[in-house]
Amino acid sequence: MPKQCELCGAAKAALRRPKTLQSICKACFYTVFETEIHHTIVQNQLFQPGDRVAIGASGGKDSTVLAYVLKTLNDRYKYGLNLFLLSVDEGITGYRDDSLETVKRNEQQYELPLRIVSYQDLYGWTMDAIVKEVGRKNNCTFCGVFRRQALDRGAMLLKADHIVTGHNADDIAETVLMNILRGDVARLQRCTSIVTPGEDGCIPRSKPFKYTYEKEIVMYAYFKQLDYFSTECIYSPNAYRGYARAFLKDLEAIRPSAIIDIIHAGESFEIRQGVKMPVQGTCQRCGYVSSNQLCKACVLLEGLNRGLPQLGISRSALAKARPHLPSSAPDASKSEMAPAATTSDVRQKDTVRTGISTLDW
């Protein structure tokens, strides 16, 4: 006999909610899903009335649901936001060109203006060309660095006050695990922040899906019959994140609350007093935020343009190339790849830290 919804008791249950394991109907699922995101937005004061908000849109499930839900909540609760879709064309044939067609359909479906910026226009390189140079082992490093900066540049073109991305709870928990595994304390301290404040001329960005499970986003998109692109990037199977993701999925299967537990653990980390941490400044070449004289994007571009693609990834490659680089190139011992502290310098507070951290670059 079909179970009744545990929330309303009137309709038959249509799904078992991954986050709470409750058996609920579609209508109640829509309500709790949207309401939790609304509470996240309000409690963290993510927006102000009149804000121009750029939604990072890739055509995938996360950004498609984010665009749909933000538009719904903006209309329902009168946030007073001006919403835009912002996409980045990395230049991946057979993947990004297809996903951008989905974004273009979303533009019409949600009646939201769309702006597309490309790696080719911004950097003179496509990811296809970069992969030919660097291979498939470290290509995600290039893409992640370039995409972050491309989103900021695109948002500036839109004159946006705020950027929102579809990073969900699974993504953030994976990032916590990755930063622990590689001893990156600087990023570990700030990776769980829901807002990256806008300092040094940068645009604030936030993650409204911080506490939203990936499985629930997929369910919401499925039941709402949203139009999204579901193919994985052809260059991502070898990404380091994949190993953290597989481990997290195993944990979730045993204990569904593990995802939120890891996020709360990350929120409660604090760096020991006296530990030297990177100081945020600006890149001497492009003016972008950086803890070195040259930002990571400029170092990576320098390597590509000089035929030294491992520059910025390998310390040994950076040291060998130093005589041929500008005097403003970062010192190998102080490069962005080398964390200024180790995990032994981290201790957990008894209570969860809820303050906003420094820039997450």
Higher-confidence residue: 283 or 8?
Answer: 8
Element (H, E) at 88: strand 82-89
pLDDT recorded at residue 293: 86
**What percent of the chain clears pLDDT 90, i.e. is strictly above it?**
63
| The pLDDT of residue 353 is above 50 | no
Tens-digit pLDDT profile for residues 140-149: 889 999 999 9
Tens-digit pLDDT profile for residues 53-77: 999 999 999 999 999 999 999 999 9
Cα 347 to chain center, whole Å? 25
Tens-digit pLDDT profile for residues 299-315: 999 999 998 888 877 65
Sign of CA dihedral 310, 313, 316, 319: positive
DSSP string, 221-287: HHHTT-----PPPTT-TT-THHHHHHHHHHHHHH-TTHHHHHHHHHHTEEEPTT---PPPEE-TTT-
CA angle, corner 125, sides to 120 and 129, nearest 5?
125
Report residue 182 as tokens: 């590689």
Q: Could you count the other beta carbons within 10 Å of the beta carbon of residue 254? A: 7
Q: Is the pTM of this model over 0.95?
A: no
In order of 20, 145, 210, 217, 225, the CA distances from 12 in angstroms are 17, 47, 29, 21, 20
171 labelled binding-site residue? yes
| The pLDDT of residue 321 is above 90 | no
| The pLDDT of residue 337 is above 50 | no
Q: What is the mean pLDDT of residues 229-235?
A: 88
How confident is the prediction for the chain on average, in pLDDT?
85
Residue 105, SS3 per DSSP: helix
| The pLDDT of residue 349 is above 60 | no
56 labelled binding-site residue? yes
Report the distance separating Cα 260 and Cα 213, nearest Å: 9
Residue ranges covered by each domain of the chain: 46-267, 281-334
314 labelled binding-site residue? no
Tens-digit pLDDT profile for residues 262-295: 999 999 887 777 777 778 788 888 888 887 888 8
| The pLDDT of residue 171 is above 90 | yes
| The pLDDT of residue 97 is above 80 | yes
CATH architecture of 46-267: 3-Layer(aba) Sandwich (3.40)
Q: What is the mean pLDDT of residues 4-14?
A: 95
Report the distance separating Cα 285 and Cα 294, nearest Å: 6
88 labelled binding-site residue? yes
352 labelled binding-site residue? no
Instruction: Go through 260-271 and write b for each residue having 16 or more CB atoms within 10 A of its CB, e for each that does not.
Output: bebbbebbbbeb
